[in-house]
Amino acid sequence: MTGLRYSTTGPGMALLTAVFTPFDEAGELALDTVAKQADALLAWGSPAAFVGGTAGEGAALSTAERMALVERWCEVAAGRLDVIVHVGHASLTEARQLAGHAERVGAKAISAVPPYFHRPETVDALVDACAVITDAAPTLPFTYYHIPSITGVHLRASDVLLAARERIPSFAGVKFAANDMVDLQRCLHLAGEQEIFVGVAKLVLAAWQWGARAAIGSVYNFAGPLFRQMLDDAARGELAKAQEYQLRAQQVIDAAARSGGELTGFKALGSVLGVDCGPCRPPLPSLGPEQVAVLRAEVARLGFGVDGGR
């Protein structure tokens, strides 16, 4: 089994993008937009697209829609970008279908949150659920997606890591999207051959200082250059400058959250600072033109513009 390692041997950090799902004004998939998204990632050096996750509103899509989206991403990214497919679902049967499909159409890897309605209550039950999913795509590296604020599964990711690598041959690491710094540090300490993907943009610089060398996030849809500059500065020893970038990024994230919710705000910022992926799918709200203008003005005051804030 080939792993899923994006860590460099040097001081850098790989920034993988959790891409938005594009919709038209009627709320249907706008698959023609995917090629523009892929080109935008390549332009600043993101090595992979994480498709159908939280930012991709995967839980709001039907299984057929999720498959169509993945097929389009694999088509436009072939030979240029890795495609990592989020296959998590409340139903393990649906998750297995998504995993098998990802393998057949050429994805690089799969990832999954645990079942989030009837939830696993122990680490063993969670790993059993992951094993059911990975068995449907045995050739693809698998990353456990730890996001307890959304799933309600608050088992320690570090405990899942230890158990999963003993029982799942394709286990490749953890996407850690939580604010538990102690558990994140433990994951980084225990990682070994597994990759730990930092999933909270506000923590990227701190996690880099602890040894993290890969991240997955939605903010990179429109702020990839800012984070790339921040980490390059940090690698050169210019920590004060890097900290300024991290603070600016945090202020932009907070402004987006105040506008109507983090994902709603992020997708709106993407429409004016990146690739327009249309509205969010209900029940998530979407910002109207006046709200978008207010948000854009607010982030401009923070020194963040079309060049990623540099």
The CA distance from 37 to 39, in Å, is 5
202 included as an active-site residue:
no
Beta bridge partners of 142: 110, 171
Q: What angle do CA 100, 4, 99 make, to 5 degrees?
A: 10
The CA distance from 153 to 116, in Å, is 7
Core vs surface per residue 218-230: b (16+ CB within 10 A) or e: bbbbbbbbbbbbb
- 6, 144, 145, 220: the catalytic one is 145
108 included as an active-site residue:
no
Cα–Cα separations (whole angstroms), residue 211 to 67, 208, 215, 235: 35, 5, 12, 12
Joined together, the tokens standing for residue 76 give 């436009």
Core vs surface per residue 256-284: b (16+ CB within 10 A) or e: beebbebbbbbbbbbbebbbebbbbbeee
The CA distance from 112 to 122, in Å, is 17
Tell me the residue length of the chain: 310
Do residues 172 and 195 lie in contact, with contact meaning Cβ atoms separated by under 8 Å?
yes
- 6, 108, 144, 175: the catalytic one is 175
The CA distance from 265 to 255, in Å, is 8
Ramachandran angles phi, psi of 303, nearest 5°: 85, 25
> CA nearest 278: which of 216, 287, 53?
287
The CA distance from 265 to 110, in Å, is 27
Q: List residues with catalytic annotation.
A: 145, 175
